Amino acid sequence: MSIEEHVPASLLDEASEALEELAGVLADGQTLNDALQQLVESASRVIPDAENVSVTLVGPQGPHTAAMTDEKVVDIDIDQYKAGQGPCLEAARIQRPVRVTLEGGRVKWPEFARAAEAAGVQAYLSAPIVIEDEVIGALNLYSSDERAFDPFDEALLRLFVTAASTSITGFRRYERSRRLVEHLQRALESRAEIDQAKGVLMAAHGVDAEDAFSRLVTESQQRNTKLRDVARNLLASVRRP
């Protein structure tokens, strides 16, 4: 029997709607944290056994929890980060989903097991988030039922991980575009100031544009100062009473 045959149509419809929402999450100018928060809330609502959900991001400063549905489960992941091991980090390392129960994790991941027990978590499912062949974190599910998370839950989790990847990719592209625009704006501003400074030198010394630019470059090299700063200082001295 296929997954679709034993899952209510209403649940599949709700999952489809949630994924459509995630697909356009950054279209309204939301931040990455907004997108990840919507991701965990949608996954918690749609995946049957997921009582709580979090997102782990792995960066240069180490892993951290970027979004969660309830702060009481954050300690479970924090203890994994401190120990440098656990199902969340394991999923990111092997790039495959990892399911573990409280009892099953006591020997291999004692720090995880202690924190899970304190939070009342009996089952945990984590799947890696991969962007352009780079593992950037994991999506984590928590349940108080040791029998939680069947193949359908895992299939839905993979869909939400795909949605997370789309959101993060979109955010990265937006950030790259924004930085490019800022660089272009600064370049245009610098060019305008350099042209104005050249005009000042041309008028003051009766030289042509090439000679004026050469004088700016020479001063920049002698003072070990950026060309735009030399031009800016010259303009400021001219404007000064």
pLDDT confidence of residue 2: 41
Cα 193 to Cα 138, 178, 216, 222, 230: the distances in Å are 48, 23, 12, 20, 10
pLDDT confidence of residue 159: 78
Give the pair of three-digit tokens for residue 176: 């790259």
- How far is it, in rounded angstroms, from Cα 226 to Cα 206? 24
Query: What one-letter code names the amino acid at 54?
Result: S
> pLDDT for 67-108, tens place per residue?
999 998 888 999 999 999 999 999 989 988 999 999 988 989
The single residue listed with the structure tokens 């700063």 is: 229
pLDDT confidence of residue 165: 76
- How far is it, in rounded angstroms, from Cα 174 to Cα 34? 14
Strand ranges across the sheet with 134-143: 62-68, 52-59, 134-143, 123-131, 98-101
pLDDT confidence of residue 140: 94
pLDDT confidence of residue 24: 55
pLDDT confidence of residue 5: 44
Among 140, 111, 192, which Cα is nearest to 36's? 140
pLDDT confidence of residue 11: 54
What does pTM read for this prediction? 0.65
Phi, psi at residue 93, to the nearest 5°? -70, -45
- How far is it, in rounded angstroms, from Cα 235 to Cα 241? 12
Which residues of the chain, if any, have pLDDT below 70? 1-30, 167, 171-172, 174-175, 178, 180, 183-185, 187-188, 240-241
Among 175, 199, 164, which Cα is nearest to 37's? 164
pLDDT confidence of residue 89: 92
Strands 98-101 and 123-131: antiparallel
- How far is it, in rounded angstroms, from Cα 100 to Cα 126? 9
